Amino acid sequence: MEYKTVMHDEMETVELAQNFESEKFPNMVICLNGELGSGKTLFTKGFANALGVEESITSPTFNIIKEYDGELPLYHMDVYRLNGDVDTIGVEDYFTKGGVVIIEWADMIKDILPEERLDIKIKITGENSRTFVIKPYGEKYEELCEAVL
């Protein structure tokens, strides 16, 4: 099943992220895809804020992975610069560390993504509007979508 929802401004994107956070669970993996400026980092900021992360969230473009403390650990990844070469940094280890993993540009590493996860594709549909195409993989993620959407 696939869900589509339109966000008309940044606040709605933040609210969507906060709603997903309210249903969080250990080892949750959220895969974000979309062109530059579509709202991937904004979504992550909203999620992190609701999770109780006090640090400022920025895209980890050059760091690849940033770790934050909140109600659960947050592992924020931007794998754009890896060009699919993930062997040396242990991305897969984060999927079972008991926190929440949010991956920007997740399509770049689709071969190593866990079978169960939440995929969110963000499309720019106007100056401030974005269409979110949300696809759950696995029962936990289907239940997550039913609770949030």
Distance CA(122)–CA(80), nearest Å, equals 16
User: Please, which pLDDT band fits residue 123 given cuts at 50, 70 and 90?
Assistant: very high
The widest CA-to-CA distance across the chain, in whole angstroms, is 39
Q: What percent of the chain is modeled with pLDDT above 90? A: 83
CATH number at 9 reads 3.40.50.300
Classify 44 as helix, strand or coil. helix
* pLDDT tens string 79-98: 887 765 666 678 899 999 99
Q: How many domains does the chain have?
A: 1
- 38-83 tens-digit pLDDT: 999 999 999 999 999 999 998 776 778 999 999 999 999 998 877 6
> In terms of residue numbers, what domain contains 124?
3-148
